[in-house]
């Protein structure tokens, strides 16, 4: 692959989003965190959906052309916002991407609890998901117009059918798709009508390489291709054979940009938050930082804390559980209801155990990276108890900046667990008694053991950065481009 050629990135959420007051905000989530570091390494154009009304205005101001955006970590991107029809986008984002695909891919929706699939859902796929995929595919085809053998990197579950559309127009394109969320086992996909399922798999299999965070998602995907699509696969090589065309299926665990995260820790605004954190601190502190997403298992986390306080009254008034949760996808009814349930449960636990001058759970419903990083520095215990989670970057960011040899409680169903499990307290996210016990074990752990684990976590987290992650993928792109039939050949 030529170094001169700009990398074309495609994702739903772009590196920035514009606010009602005209300010620019960094896009949230793991995907944006992963890709923003790239700006300083390579010439890239980032094609993303215009997600807010203000994004749409900005897209129109630029006449649909790319514009320059400073990356917070240095360097800049050319960003092209694509405006889709409002109703189509609503169907794409609020019905198909979330909840349908998100729920299927986090085992939140299976044959026992999935809602009926009616015309409403089928239309949402045909007229929403496919339409928005088509809009961004058109932008990609436009962008690579003059290039020979262009390379396009597509991100996530929003764009499973886009690769097929791009491939049809440009058979010479190299398509690399990274899926940031888990890939579930074949039966989880059976709730989708077979026609929709096939369109999704066929679209995705138009890629040259499909990447996941972990080997287990890689394996699940291969199994799905074999069992649901009747395709020949090689588990040893990580290849699906689509007729004569081999599609490589790889795992590239996403690292964090540790230098950038440490730099955030030095911001004056973070220091101001730290003063507040320290002023409010009790003897012990537990922290969680998440999007308010059902997959994050927030309710079981609070239930476990409730059990812990019940079973360990000696900690009364001595501990605070700070939960910084960012409201997310609130136009999706399941998410809005979840947020209500979270607030209700916090009220119950605080009422049950609190005293006039002690509120056991400090719930902060906001998205503020500076505040989160200030809290990261001073926790004793960090809870990441997701039911299922593609990677979970909080599990990496926390131990990196923490200054107290904080202990991580980590769900065995997070992608991060494959790398960090050895130095965390592993929990089954459904077992709230185990989680309550883990809180206690973390709090009474001997200082030498805390230090050993904290150092182990930090060492792993600083061993690779997003530059390495991209390089690993580029190396595969080069190898496949130069004729290798399998990743191991």
Q: How far is the CB of 48 from ligand F6P (least distance, A)?
A: 10
Burial class (CB in 10 A: 0-12, 13-18, 19+), 172: exposed
What the block records as the tokens of 437 is 């016990």
In the complex with ligand F6P, the residue whose CB is nearer, 350 or 414, is 414
Burial class (CB in 10 A: 0-12, 13-18, 19+), 399: buried
Which of 237, 224, 129 is CA-nearest to residue 186? 224
Strand order in the sheet with 361-365: 361-365, 319-326, 284-291, 381-384, 407-411, 425-427
- Count CB atoms within 10 A of the CB of residue 123: 12
| Non-local CB neighbours of 357 within 8 Å, separated by 6+ positions | 317
Give the helix ranges, DSSP H, for 184-266: 194-204, 215-229, 258-265
CB 17 within 8 A of CB 25: yes
Q: How far is the CB of 230 from ligand F6P (least distance, A)?
A: 29
Q: How far is the CB of 153 from ligand F6P (least distance, A)?
A: 14
9 binds ligand F6P (CB under 6 A): no
Chain positions 432 to 471 lying near ligand F6P, rule: CB under 6 A, are none
In the complex with ligand F6P, the residue whose CB is nearer, 28 or 52, is 28
342 binds ligand F6P (CB under 6 A): no
Among positions 59, 95, 181, 410, the unique one binding ligand F6P when judged by CB under 6 A: 181
Binding residues with ligand F6P: total (CB under 6 A): 12
In the complex with ligand F6P, the residue whose CB is nearer, 102 or 302, is 102
Q: How far is the CB of 63 from ligand F6P (least distance, A)?
A: 25
Q: How far is the CB of 51 from ligand F6P (least distance, A)?
A: 8
Among positions 207, 328, 350, 408, the unique one binding ligand F6P when judged by CB under 6 A: 328
| Non-local CB neighbours of 410 within 8 Å, separated by 6+ positions | 384, 385, 395, 416, 417, 420, 421, 424, 425, 426, 427
Among positions 7, 8, 16, 31, the unique one binding ligand F6P when judged by CB under 6 A: 31
Among positions 156, 208, 397, 419, the unique one binding ligand F6P when judged by CB under 6 A: 156
In the complex with ligand F6P, the residue whose CB is nearer, 73 or 306, is 73
Binding string, 89-128, against ligand F6P, x = CB under 6 A? ----------------------------------------
State how far the Cα of 389 lies from the Cα of 180, in Å rounded to an integer.
9
Among positions 91, 296, 329, 378, the unique one binding ligand F6P when judged by CB under 6 A: 329
Binding string, 388-427, against ligand F6P, x = CB under 6 A? --x-------------------------------------
327 binds ligand F6P (CB under 6 A): no
Token pair 């955030």: residue: 264
Please give the DSSP secondary-structure letter assigned to residue 227.
Answer: H
CA angle 5/7/9 to nearest 5° reads 155
Q: How far is the CB of 30 from ligand F6P (least distance, A)?
A: 4
13 binds ligand F6P (CB under 6 A): yes
In the complex with ligand F6P, the residue whose CB is nearer, 180 or 417, is 180
16 binds ligand F6P (CB under 6 A): no
288 binds ligand F6P (CB under 6 A): no
Q: Hey, is 399 helix, strand or coil?
A: helix
Helix axes 162-169, 194-204, angle to 10 degrees: 50
Q: Which residue is nearest to ligand F6P (CB)?
A: 29
Q: Hey, is 80 helix, strand or coil?
A: strand
The DSSP string of 268-326 is: HHHHHHHHHHHHH--SEEEEEEEES-GGG-HHHHHHHHHHHHHH-GGGTTTEEEEEEEE
Q: How far is the CB of 328 from ligand F6P (least distance, A)?
A: 5
In the complex with ligand F6P, the residue whose CB is nearer, 274 or 290, is 290
State how far the Cα of 197 lies from the Cα of 160, in Å rounded to an integer.
10
In the complex with ligand F6P, the residue whose CB is nearer, 30 or 211, is 30
219 binds ligand F6P (CB under 6 A): no
* Residue 398 zone, left/alpha/beta (φ > 0; ψ -120 to 50; rest): alpha
Cα–Cα distance list, 128 to 87, 88, 125 (Å) = 7, 4, 5
Stretch that binds ligand F6P, among 30-38, 79-87, 357-365, 408-416 (CB under 6 A): 30-38
Binding site for ligand F6P (CB under 6 A): 13, 28-32, 156, 180-181, 328-329, 390
């Amino acid at each position: 692959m030529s170094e001169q050629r700009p990398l074309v990135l495609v994702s739903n959420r772009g590196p920035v989003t514009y606010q009602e007051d005209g300010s620019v905000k960094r896009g949230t989530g793991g995907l944006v965190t992963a890709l923003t570091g790239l700006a300083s390494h390579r010439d890239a154009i980032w094609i993303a959906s215009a997600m807010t009304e203000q994004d749409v205005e900005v897209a129109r101001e630029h006449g649909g052309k790319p514009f320059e955006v400073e990356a917070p970590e240095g360097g800049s991107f050319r960003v092209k916002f694509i405006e889709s029809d409002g109703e189509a986008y609503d169907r794409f984002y609020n019905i198909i991407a979330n909840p349908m695909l998100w729920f299927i891919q986090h085992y939140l929706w299976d044959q026992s609890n999935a809602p009926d699939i009616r015309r409403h859902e089928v239309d949402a796929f045909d007229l929403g998901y496919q339409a928005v995929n088509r809009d961004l595919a058109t932008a990609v085809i436009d962008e690579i117009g003059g290039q020979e053998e262009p390379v396009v990197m597509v991100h996530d579950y929003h764009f499973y059918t886009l690769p097929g559309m791009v491939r049809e127009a440009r058979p010479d394109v190299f398509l690399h798709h990274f899926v940031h969320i888990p890939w579930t086992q074949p039966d989880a996909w059976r709730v989708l009508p077979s026609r929709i399922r096939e369109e999704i798999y066929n679209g995705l299999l138009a890629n040259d390489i499909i990447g996941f965070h972990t080997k287990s998602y890689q394996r699940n995907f291969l199994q799905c291709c074999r069992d649901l699509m009747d395709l020949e696969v090689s588990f040893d090589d990580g290849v699906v054979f689509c007729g004569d065309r081999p599609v490589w299926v790889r795992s590239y665990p996403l690292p964090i940009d540790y230098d950038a995260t440490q730099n955030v820790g030095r911001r004056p605004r973070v220091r101001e938050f730290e003063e507040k954190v320290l002023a409010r601190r009790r003897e012990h502190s537990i922290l969680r930082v998440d999007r308010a997403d059902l997959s994050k298992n927030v309710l079981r986390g609070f239930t476990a804390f409730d059990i812990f306080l019940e079973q360990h009254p000696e900690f009364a008034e001595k501990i605070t559980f700070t939960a910084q949760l960012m409201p997310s996808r609130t136009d999706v009814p399941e998410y809005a209801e979840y947020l209500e349930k979270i607030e209700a449960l916090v009220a119950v636990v605080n009422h049950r155990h609190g005293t006039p001058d002690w509120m056991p759970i400090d719930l902060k419903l906001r998205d503020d990276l500076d505040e989160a990083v200030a809290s990261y520095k001073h926790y004793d215990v960090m809870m990441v108890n997701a039911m299922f989670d593609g990677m979970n970057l909080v599990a990496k960011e926390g131990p990196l900046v923490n200054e107290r040899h904080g202990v991580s409680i980590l769900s065995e169903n997070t992608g991060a667990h494959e790398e960090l499990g050895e130095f965390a307290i592993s929990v089954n996210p459904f077992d709230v008694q185990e989680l309550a016990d883990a809180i206690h074990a973390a709090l009474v752990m001997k200082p030498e053991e805390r230090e050993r684990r904290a150092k182990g976590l930090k060492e792993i987290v600083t061993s690779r950065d997003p530059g390495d992650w991209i390089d690993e993928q580029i190396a595969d792109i080069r190898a496949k481009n130069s004729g290798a039939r399998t990743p191991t050949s």
